[in-house]
Structure 1
Amino acid sequence: MKLFKRTLVFIALFIFLTAPASAQSQNSMYQISTINALMQGVYDGDFTVKDLKQHGNFGIGTLNHLDGEMIALDGNFYQVKSTGEIKVLSGEAKTPFANVVNFRADKVGQIKTVGNFSELEKALDSIIQDKNYIYAIRIEGIFTGKTRSIGAQSKPYPSLSAAAKKQVVFDIINTKGTVVGFWCPEYVSGINVKGYHLHFISDDRKSGGHILSCGIEDGKVQVSRISDFRMVLPSGTAFQAAELNKDYSKELAEVEKSK
């Protein structure tokens, strides 16, 4: 009888200790191309939304020709066009740059009120503490701020910095929706956007885009630590000819927050 009880205790302890590790092993990010390639105007990819869905149900990116902002939420993939229209993407739609995960929250927090992007960063920093990992971030709440989208580009493609100068900015006020995005550490510079890279989509699917500035009320924060990372590179000549070793951090910072 004592042996039986000890066995049960061991089994319970084993399940408790191994369950978090099992959950974390599923937090894998799948990335198409590099942010430096996008900065150089590599806007054509062979990877489809159907491909992305095999690797994740949550994420952000853009579409071929830099045609709008991509948002993946709960397995549905959306395009925020420069007109403000939000379209559900077909499986055949292609992307030159995207990041997706099968979202599984391992930390949950609350944001009562933040008035600007800097305050949001500080609030998220208090939740994200192991700064050597990538994190997927989901925030449900009431959003007020500015988002943007960029219209489809024509060849010869301009750099992302040049294309962003013609971005369309949307004012969003007291709108329920979800922030979707990632936080990446400094060492991913050139591969992805270091720091916070966030998109927004409203619950009614009528507004959204890449977040330039924001305030959030009654926010429910869910964070997923990424312990596995896979990147797939394009095979086209544009990517092969791109100068990927250049430091674009200054230009990228302007693109991310330009208004």
Structure 2
Amino acid sequence: KIPFATVTKFDEDGNITNITASNFDDLTGQLNKTIEEYGTNNMYVIKIKGDFSNITVRSVEKQEKPYKEFTDVAAVDQKVFNHTDQTGTLVAVYFPEYMNELNMHGWHLHFLSDDKTKGGHVLGFNGLKGSAQIDEIHEFNMILPTDDTFKTMNFTEDMSNKISSVE
């Protein structure tokens, strides 16, 4: 049971043979230029296999009912890990701005080390060298919960500031 997931059957539509990025902003700037060639109104998943001088990731503890808002979870149950000299895979997910009401627009990155012992939501990194595969996505399916809690939940609150605060 997972509260949220972005899942795709990865179908390589392109690649980038040599990526070097000094940090998170440098990489996302390069990825933005890459997807401009494909079209910025599509969704993308980009797998980047590389070596990182340093990478900082976060994960949160498993939650039990009654579930807390993620902003509260991140403030109390978030663990931050800083790893040096890591080889692994970044998974970069991109949603266009017009989908912002369904998913956070822009780039969202997760990391998994090659030995599968380190990973999480990427907060930042330094010194990436690697290569990437690009999957251009043209379909979006959403599966909603069927329980009574979801059926009566109030979704009218603007969550953009809360989401930005934990990203």
Query: What's the TM-score, normalizing by structure 2?
Result: 0.90
Task: Give the equivalent residue in structure 1 for 2:41.
Answer: 132
Larger Rg: 1
Q: Quick one: distance in 1 between partners of 2:124 and 2:60?
A: 16
Secondary structure of 1:155 counterpart: coil
Whether 1:245 and 2:156 are equivalent positions in the alignment is: yes
For residues 229 and 182 of structure 1, do their structure 2 counterparts lie closer, same or farther at Cα, with a shift above 3 Å needed? same
Q: Quick one: distance in 1 between partners of 2:92 and 2:163?
A: 16
Shift of residue 188, structure 1, vs aligned partner: 1.5
Task: Give the equivalent residue in structure 2 for 1:151.
Answer: 61
Mind listing any 5+ residue stretches in structure 1 that lack a counterpart?
1-93
Task: Give the equivalent residue in structure 1 for 2:99.
Answer: 188
Q: Quick one: distance in 2 between partners of 1:181 and 1:237?
A: 33
Read off the aligned partner of 1:225 and give its amino acid letter: E
Describe how 1:1-259 pairs up with structure 2 within 5 A.
94-129=1-36, 130-143=39-52, 144-166=54-76, 167-256=78-167
For residues 228 and 255 of structure 1, do their structure 2 counterparts lie closer, same or farther at Cα, with a shift above 3 Å needed? same
RMSD: 1.5
Q: Quick one: distance in 1 between partners of 2:41 and 2:105?
A: 12
Query: How many pairs are equivalent?
Result: 163
Secondary structure of 1:165 counterpart: helix
Read off the aligned partner of 1:122 and give its amino acid letter: G
Using the TM superposition, name which of 238-247 and 201-210 deviates more: 238-247
Q: Quick one: distance in 1 between partners of 2:143 and 2:89?
A: 27
Contact 1:110 1:218 survives alignment (8 Å) = no
Q: Quick one: distance in 2 between partners of 1:111 and 1:176?
A: 15
Q: Quick one: distance in 2 between partners of 1:136 and 1:97?
A: 16
Mind listing any 5+ residue stretches in structure 2 that lack a counterpart?
none
Query: What's the TM-score, normalizing by structure 1?
Result: 0.60
Q: Quick one: distance in 2 between partners of 1:111 and 1:145?
A: 19
Using the aligned pairs only, state the percent identity. Answer: 37
Contact 2:51 2:87 survives alignment (8 Å) = yes
Shift of residue 108, structure 1, vs aligned partner: 0.8
Contact 2:55 2:86 survives alignment (8 Å) = no
Task: Give the equivalent residue in structure 2 for 1:34.
Answer: none
Q: Quick one: distance in 1 between partners of 2:25 and 2:88?
A: 20
Read off the aligned partner of 1:120 and give its amino acid letter: L
